[in-house]
Amino acid sequence: MEYIKSKIRDVMDFPTQGIVFKDLTTAFKDPRALHILGWDLSQLYRDKGVTKVVGIESRGFICGSILAFELGAGFVPARKPGKLPAETIKATYAKEYGKDTIEIHKDAIMEDDIVVLHDDVLATGGTMAAAYELVKSMNPKKIYINFIIELGALNGRKALPEDVQVDSLIVY
């Protein structure tokens, strides 16, 4: 993970004043870093029978798609309102710098699915908590949650269910 950490750029005051944004695009553009991320994420779930990976817009689409490919699972995008063409379910939530809404297709998850919810960064946990509730409402067999980066000082895990396995590759 030291190699990955060396490829992550800190951007001050983005998207708002006082935020230090962990920019993973600098890791994503590096072939070795992207390969390591895909491999390390997939190793967490190789023996779990995962059938779907839900990636959260937009950076969660990148490694979420790689994770789905590596696991032989389907990929489900969780998107901002109005971006998905078919019938959706949605949740509105608070995040560290405002409110937002997330949607997924109503038919994206089935009761026999084993799901990994993926996003790039765990900050306050609002986005992932909303995505978890959407997926849980579809009654899959099992849900796992994962991140590339966790900002430990923000205590985002407190927003997530205690009975769900949550994995982060890097904790700051």
The helix (H) or strand (E) run that includes residue 132 is helix 126-136
> Using CA atoms, how far apart are residues 59 and 24, in angstroms rounded to an integer?
8
> Using CA atoms, how far apart are residues 168 and 10, in angstroms rounded to an integer?
18
Please pick, among 57, 59, 79, 150, the residue that the annotation labels catalytic: 59
- Residues 6 or more apart in contact with residue 29 via CB below 8 angstroms: none
Please pick, among 32, 57, 96, 103, the residue that the annotation labels catalytic: 96
> Using CA atoms, how far apart are residues 79 and 86, in angstroms rounded to an integer?
12
> Using CA atoms, how far apart are residues 63 and 128, in angstroms rounded to an integer?
15
- Known catalytic residue: 96? yes
- Known catalytic residue: 111? no
Catalytic residues: 59, 96
